[in-house]
Amino acid sequence: MIRIDRVSPIPVYKQIILQVKKEIILGRLKKGDRLPSVRDLSKMLGVNVNTVLRAYERLSVEGIVASEQGKGFFVKEDLGVSDQAVKLLREAARMLKECKVEISLAMMIIQEVWSDEKV
């Protein structure tokens, strides 16, 4: 579920936050689901317990997860990304793959479109 890229310039705690959000958006984590315990995720990723705790606490401050004393952290919100948005992203990815566009180029295109888009 959660993977860490040790050569990424993104801090590990931030990678954990982004990975949890990704899992929620993709529907793999749903409202009410329990996140892995801080200690379990720390062992699984090979990172300090405080790193995982920092990520979970940030997610809690953002209102995405909630902690229950003695029980752990649970998904509180679905982030409001519709199934339709994920479906459109999957379709765009499929089309880019069919056109033999490399993932690094696809990401560059997405970043450019994202930056240009007036929301």
Q: Is residue 42 a part of any domain in this protein?
A: yes
In this structure, the answer to whether residues 70 and 87 fall within a common structural domain is no
Q: Please indicate, yes or no, whether residues 66 and 50 belong to a single structural domain of this protein.
A: yes
* pTM > 0.85: no
Domain that holds residue 44: 12-75
Give the tens place of pLDDT for each residue, 17-63: 999 999 999 889 999 999 999 999 999 999 999 999 999 999 999 99
What CATH number is attached to the domain comprising 46? 1.10.10.10
In-domain check, residue 5: no
Half-sphere exposure for 56 (CA within 13 Å, toward CB): 22
Which of 9, 31, 22 is CA-nearest to residue 76? 31
- The verdict on 60 and 18 lying in the same domain is yes
